[in-house]
A and B are shown apart, each in its own frame.
Chain A
Amino acid sequence: MKKDLKIKILELIEEKNFKEAKNLAEKDKTLKEFYDEQLFFNETFGTLRIRKVPENLNKKIMERLFSEEKAEKEPFLNSIFELFAFPRLSFSIAFSIILILTGFLFYSVKPLSTNFSYYTYKAKSKLEFYLEKIDSAKDLFVFMFDTKKEEVIKDLINKENKKNKEDKKWEIKTERNPRQQPYFFHSFQV
């Protein structure tokens, strides 16, 4: 109850309605004391604010603000490095890395090129083998029913010659002729 009255007194003081606050406080001795205390507090609190700062504090603050700003704004070498040298340097580094990688790629791929040609030839041969089968069936069919047998025979011989020629080429270069060695396991052949 008294606490509520105290709060009411505080609110009235806050509104600067001192007359009513005093009237309310007059009802009780404790409330009167409380009212007087609050007035005293209002006078005293203001004096507790520190109105002076230690010597040189403002100077220190200003020095800190502007020395750090200066350091950020005017780093001559740094700014040259960041604005001019660094982008160029990073470009040069990136360019060198690309060159080195390209060289390395060429270097690694070159020994594979023979193998690459070989496997291309092998794949091509396989494909040709099946195409030949189809073609032979077609030729046989045509041979049986076509009247121009001579031309067909000539064509077949040409094809066979061409094939033999290519086989021979690979026989010279390598022993791994896929037509003769259809398996990867040499031991199997042996």
Chain B
Amino acid sequence: MNMEFNKIYEGLERNEKWAWEMIVEQYSSRIYSYTLNFSGSRQFAEEATQEVFFRMFKNIKKIKGNKNDFEKYLYTIARNYCIDNYRKNKNINIVEDKDYLIPKWDPDYTIKDIVWKGINQLDKDEKELIVLREIEGFSYDEIAEILNIPVGTVKSRINRVRIKLSEIIKTLQGRKQ
């Protein structure tokens, strides 16, 4: 996004189409990725991405005009939407869409497949932390704000989850061999 975020934000506030197009283009894949990683369902991820942008559109005036706040707010909406739906329909976690995520022609398909399976064996909260930190690339502070927990807790939990994940992956590799 070459244009300064403040200018785009002004456009968003005025509901100008060009500004929203830029934002949707920039963030739709990230929100889609996050919701897909959260739910495992492509259909759900598609619906959720649309809904997240729609809610953002409705509440744009409540957000301060800087990029970090904007991103945090976007992910918070996505997270809340996923959690609400998870509560309503607990068995939503469902289809492993790894074929979509990791194409079979990828030379590292086997190992990525194992990592993907390992992530999917984590608990929902653990998976969420790994997705936010390692896949979506958020900082500890940002994750703390999105999840509304202290930064120290985020750090220690992520370390524990990484240790757990490496043990899960070892088991999966052992099974495969």
Residues of chain A at the chain B interface (Cβ within 8 Å)? 3, 6-7, 10-11, 34, 37-38, 40-42, 44-54, 57-58, 60-62, 64-66, 68-69
In the assembled complex, which residues on chain A have CB atoms less than 8 Å from the CB atom of B111? Answer: 40, 44
| Beyond A50-B29, A58-B21, 20 additional pairs, beta carbon < 8 A | A34-B163, A38-B162, A45-B134, A47-B102, A48-B101, A49-B135, A50-B32, A54-B32, A57-B46, A58-B25, A60-B50, A61-B49, A61-B54, A62-B21, A62-B24, A64-B54, A65-B53, A65-B54, A69-B15, A69-B57
A47 contacts across to B, CB distance below 8 A: 102, 108, 112
- Mask for B136-157, Cβ within 8 A of A = 1, else 0? 1100000000000000000000
Q: Would you give the shortest CB distance from A6 to chain B, in whole angstroms?
A: 5
Residues of A contacting B59 in the complex (Cβ-Cβ under 8 angstroms): none
CB distance B54 to A57 under 8 Å? no
Q: Give chain B residues whose Cβ lies under 8 Å from the Cβ of A69.
A: 15, 57
Chain B residues with CB below 8 A from A11, complex form = 159
Question: Chain B: interface secondary structure?
Answer: helix
The 24 sampled A-B contact pairs (Cβ below 8 Å) are A10-B162, A34-B163, A34-B166, A40-B111, A41-B166, A45-B130, A45-B134, A47-B112, A48-B115, A48-B116, A48-B119, A49-B135, A49-B136, A49-B137, A50-B32, A50-B37, A50-B100, A50-B101, A53-B28, A53-B32, A57-B50, A61-B54, A65-B20, A66-B17
Known: A37-B166, A38-B162, A53-B32. A45 touches B135 (CB 8 A): yes
Chain A binding surface SS class: helix
The residues of A that contact B119 with a CB separation of less than 8 Å are: 48
If A53-B49, A57-B28 touch, does A10 touch B17 (CB 8 Å cutoff)? no
